[in-house]
A and B are shown apart, each in its own frame.
Chain A
Amino acid sequence: MANDLKTFQPKEYYRKFLEKDVRPDGRELGECRSTVVNIGSITTAEGSALVKLGNTTVICGIKAELANPKADEPKNGYIVPNVELSPMCSAQFRPGAPGEQAQVLSQFVVDVLQNSECVNLQDLCIVSGKLVWMLQCDMICLDYDGNVADACVLSLVSALKNTCLPKVTVNEETQAIETDDKITNNLKVQTTPVSTTFAIFDDHFVIVDPTIEEETLATGIITIVTKEKKLCMVHKPGGTPLKDSQIQLCIDRAIERSGQATKLIDETQCSLDR
């Protein structure tokens, strides 16, 4: 009986649960799915992290390349994030060129990096005006069960914290580039941006960390990015209008989540260093 209702009237099915302040998977409205972070699992990458948010899985690998800086910003390196939603992660994606959603997500990650000033681009400078690092951050979604944005940001930040760059110098006489793989420097990550996504159901239930079903049934989505208890970015692409008080509630929850996530990354990092 319950299954029939779920198939034919999914909204009604959800409403019955939400009225009792619980979700069909047993979570409370403000409860995130269990989060697992695995840092440094890909040895061919300069930095890597795998994040699982319930069933949603995203892996981020960072490859460093040498590049010439732009003429108007001779000291700034580059960070190029790219999100890939391959047909592997869900039947809804087709093979071929990246879809709209993947491009929107990539741009979202670019905005998060810029707004949070997570990495100082001048740290990526090797020789001013001549040589800088370009960090290619590829995030591949392996299993798509909703809320990929949060998983992407979490995996990117964890991978950045894991990134180790070799020491590179330019010989002044010959202009040759010399790489010393023995001396590596950890990339300086100044802040830890954490994104938290909420789905709005029936115009008044606000649920955190939505699954794919919840995302498709939701009447609106709001994503809040915080860094160290400070608000960094709010992204609300249309949908149900919200009241100030509701947004304030989201922000409070996002800050709470941010603390948990930061602690999780740091703990995983520590267990790795040991």
Chain B
Amino acid sequence: MAGLELLSDQGFRIDGRRSHELRKIQCRLGVFKQADGSAYIEQGNTKVLAAVYGPHEVKGSRAKMLQDKVLVNCQYSMATFSTGERKRRPRGDRKSTEMTMHLKQTFDAAIITNLYPRSQIDIYVEVLQSDGGNYCASVNAATLALIDAGIPLKDYVCACSAGFVNDTPIVDISYLEESGGGPELIVTILPKSEQIVFLEQNSRLHEDNLSKVLDVASKGCKDIYAILDRAVRDHVSKVSNVANTTE
């Protein structure tokens, strides 16, 4: 193979991880006051902020209002300084628009939408630093922000990516591994019911290997679920402690 060796003979990846190892995840809920819910997540060097407003009355054109369920409005935006080369437009380019659509579809499926007919929920995602897995980090951050906003979800929504190098599936791929040209699989699941909400696969991958890669990715999602769940529980206990002492 020319160029970079994505997986060494000893089974280590470029950043020193094993094939099944996630990047370090750090997250916080309730980082902002203005938003109804907000969260910050770091997955390795990818740093993402999410803010949720709503449910509130439909703003802008009334034609978008849905009679039977809530309108989920997303905006995915990448800071111009988030990538190696400066981005000309933080949003509105095709890639961001696609990402916005994917987020909207994902959360349309996970939010219990029939509870708030004729209303709107806004999910704003801002990528501050990008190092692969932007979609996954955005979904995970948005989940935490929705929980912080107290919006009823069917379940946590966890997203994880996976690649396939030297006949080995690798989980949570970084920018270098993404740009290597190998296959990439992104999966979003509801971990408790093990339902797949979103699945995307790029580049060529043999049919026989698909289930292997998918397994690794869903395992990654469940690992992420454990981390998110702990963060939520820590946050809730902290908030309730503060509430108790001030009463």
Asked if B79 lies at the interface with its beta carbon under 8 angstroms from chain A, I say yes
Stretch at the interface among B46-54, B104-112, B220-228: B46-54
Q: A43 to B122, alpha carbons, bound, how many Å?
A: 29
Known: A88-B51, A89-B34. A44 touches B126 (CB 8 A): no
A/B pair count, beta carbons within 8 Å: 78
Q: A20 to B60, alpha carbons, bound, how many Å?
A: 43
CB distance from B15 to the nearest CB of A (A): 14
Q: A136 to B81, alpha carbons, bound, how many Å?
A: 9
Q: Which residue of the partner chain, among A44, A88, A91, contacts B84 with CB atoms under 8 Å?
A: A44
CB distance from B41 to the nearest CB of A (A): 14
Known: A62-B81, A65-B86, A145-B33. A88 touches B124 (CB 8 A): yes
* Residues in chain A near residue B34, CB distance under 8 A: 55, 89-91, 143-145, 212
Asked if A87 lies at the interface with its beta carbon under 8 angstroms from chain B, I say yes
Asked if A150 lies at the interface with its beta carbon under 8 angstroms from chain B, I say no
Asked if A59 lies at the interface with its beta carbon under 8 angstroms from chain B, I say yes
Q: A57 to B33, alpha carbons, bound, how many Å?
A: 10
Asked if A95 lies at the interface with its beta carbon under 8 angstroms from chain B, I say yes
* Residues in chain A near residue B126, CB distance under 8 A: 86, 88, 140, 142
Q: Are B51 and A55 in contact (CB under 8 A)?
A: no
Q: A61 to B127, alpha carbons, bound, how many Å?
A: 12
| Interface residues on chain A, number (Cβ under 8 Å) | 29
Q: Are A61 and B81 in contact (CB under 8 A)?
A: yes
Asked if A63 lies at the interface with its beta carbon under 8 angstroms from chain B, I say yes
Chain B residue at smallest Cβ distance from A54: B33
Asked if B83 lies at the interface with its beta carbon under 8 angstroms from chain A, I say yes
Known: A42-B129, A90-B34. A63 touches B51 (CB 8 A): no
Residues 59-97 of B, flagged 1 when their CB comes within 8 A of A and 0 if not, give: 110000000000000010101111110100010000000
* Residues in chain B near residue A44, CB distance under 8 A: 81-84, 129-131
Residues 19-48 of A, flagged 1 when their CB comes within 8 A of B and 0 if not, give: 000000000000000000000001111001
Q: A231 to B59, alpha carbons, bound, how many Å?
A: 44
* Residues in chain B near residue A138, CB distance under 8 A: 79-81
Q: Are A42 and B124 in contact (CB under 8 A)?
A: no
Chain A residue at smallest Cβ distance from B59: A94
Asked if A214 lies at the interface with its beta carbon under 8 angstroms from chain B, I say no
B1-59 residues with Cβ-Cβ distance < 8 A to A are: 31-35, 45, 47, 49, 51, 53, 56, 59
Q: Which residue of the partner chain, among B35, B79, B80, B86, contacts A143 with CB atoms under 8 Å?
A: B35
Q: Which residue of the partner chain, among A43, A55, A91, contacts B45 with CB atoms under 8 Å?
A: A43
Q: A142 to B84, alpha carbons, bound, how many Å?
A: 22
Asked if A84 lies at the interface with its beta carbon under 8 angstroms from chain B, I say yes
* Residues in chain A near residue B83, CB distance under 8 A: 44
Q: Are B32 and A42 in contact (CB under 8 A)?
A: no
Q: Are A55 and B33 in contact (CB under 8 A)?
A: yes
Asked if B99 lies at the interface with its beta carbon under 8 angstroms from chain A, I say no
Q: Which residue of the partner chain, among A59, A89, A94, A212, contacts B128 with CB atoms under 8 Å?
A: A59
Q: Which residue of the partner chain, among A42, A65, A94, contacts B82 with CB atoms under 8 Å?
A: A42
B128-179 residues with Cβ-Cβ distance < 8 A to A are: 128-131
* Residues in chain B near residue A136, CB distance under 8 A: 80-81, 86
* Residues in chain A near residue B82, CB distance under 8 A: 42, 44, 61
CB distance from A240 to the nearest CB of B (A): 27
Known: A44-B130, A87-B122. A61 touches B33 (CB 8 A): no
* Residues in chain A near residue B80, CB distance under 8 A: 61, 63, 136, 138
A-B contact pairs, 17 of them (CB 8 A): A42-B129, A43-B45, A44-B83, A61-B80, A61-B128, A65-B86, A87-B124, A88-B51, A91-B34, A91-B56, A94-B60, A95-B75, A136-B80, A136-B81, A138-B80, A142-B32, A142-B126
Question: A interface vs B, CB < 8 Å?
Answer: 42-45, 48, 55, 57, 59, 61-63, 65, 84, 86-91, 94-95, 136, 138, 140, 142-145, 212
Instruction: Sort A-B residue pairs by CB-CB distance and give the 5 closest, nearest first.
Output: A61-B81, A45-B81, A88-B124, A63-B86, A143-B32
